[in-house]
Amino acid sequence: MSAPTPSRSFCGLRHGATDWNRQGLFQGRTDNPLNEDGLRQAHEAAYLLRGVGISRIVASPLVRAAKTAEIIADAIAVPLTIDAGIIELDFGSFEGLPVRDLMIKHGVDSATGLVSILPADGENWEAMAERSLACVSAWLDNYSGDHLLFVCHDAVMQGMAKSLSGSYFKNSHGTPFGYVRDGAGWRIEQIVT
């Protein structure tokens, strides 16, 4: 499989935190709401993004991403659309289990290692990266005059980063990142205002 390459730079943001995030559990498609920390992170992200020039937001349908996006869209007065193309990876039988325990059990200590132990009953990592990049690419092509922000999930953002730049990055809840097209290559950089 070969993931599509977006035509231009875009922004991504991991939703605010949930209780399962704080407990270190695989969350995937389990539709948990933001906790108090997550709501605060969404408002902080909205404040950070006020001067960046975002003109349209696309969010995953899962409530933690959709609510984060709604808070930001309301604060910066831009349109928001929900698109299942950037929904979180389905972790299959890992859903609800402790990430750290499974990493220890399988002897892995990195994102690459974690991807290598994902269960066969979940979504394929490369297929997730491909569908996410196809979604982003379509939005970028259809709204060529807009500066887009995609509010989604860690696995989605990491899968896109790995496909585009060749590496993973440290991704925190409610922290905006630019996926920057730099000539023929890509880099992921935190947005600081």
Q: Is 189 a catalytic residue?
A: no
Q: Of 15, 123, 130, 153, which one is the catalytic site residue?
A: 15
Distance of CA 164 to the CA centre of its chain: 14
- Residue identified by tokens 């807009």 is 146
Give the Cα separation of 82 and 139 in Å (integer).
12
Residue 174 φ/ψ region, left for φ over 0, alpha for ψ in the -120 to 50 degree band, beta for the rest: left
Residue 2 in tokens: 């070969």
CA-to-CA distance for 102 and 60, rounded, in angstroms?
A: 26
**Rounded alpha-carbon distances, angstroms, from residue 159 to 3, 89, 115, 132:** 10, 10, 10, 8
Active site residue 15: yes
- DSSP strand E in the chain: where? 10-14, 56-59, 80-82, 148-152, 176-182, 185-190
Contact yes or no for 149/176 (Cβ under 8 A):
yes
28: left (phi > 0), else alpha (psi -120 to 50), else beta? left
Catalytic residue among 44, 88, 106, 126: 88
- Report the catalytic residues: 15, 88
